[in-house]
Amino acid sequence: MKFLVKIVAVLILSISTAYAGYYDTYNISSYHYKQFGTSDNANIGLYDSKYKLKGLLIFLSVDAAQLPDSSKDSNGLIRLYYTRSNLHDVIDLLRNESPIRINYWNGPEKYNSHIGTAKKELVGEGE
């Protein structure tokens, strides 16, 4: 009976995971910032420990509703789009937090891809 319960639990987890989607996650070791002179646009390239470009954060001077959906190309490069007003917050995250990951959501919702800390932070660290 316990074996049957385990099989059912695995099947339920598999079905819910397949429906919910999953993340492609990469650890980020370095970044490269570019501010373009002909526009107010900027981007930040995110690199792994082997200096391979894993993500591109693109900051556009548009309303949030006009931003393209996050994407991942056939080479695995993840593109996340932000409004220009988010640039300083993202640079602050990259400068002051470690480790950082980029996460691309493969599920049906297009709004779950993100960068963030790779582990839980203690409240009140004073960073």
Residue 58: count other Cβ atoms within 10 Å of its Cβ: 15
60-82 mean pLDDT: 93
| 75 located within any domain | yes
Residue 2 lies in a domain: no
Q: What is the pTM of this model?
A: 0.78
- Looking at the domain assignment, is residue 9 inside a domain? no
Does residue 5 form part of some domain?
Answer: no
Q: Is residue 6 in some structural domain?
A: no
Tell me the residue range of the domain where 56 lies: 21-117
Q: Which residue has the higher pLDDT, 1 or 67?
A: 67
pLDDT in tens, 26-36: 999 999 999 88
Confidence band for 122, pLDDT divided at 50, 70 and 90: confident
Please state the domain count of the chain. Answer: 1
The DSSP-derived string for 55-113 is EEEEEESS-GGGPPPPEE-TT--EEEEEEGGGHHHHHHHHHH-SSEEEEEE-SS-SS--
At 76-103, the pLDDT tens digits run 999 999 999 999 999 999 999 989 999 9
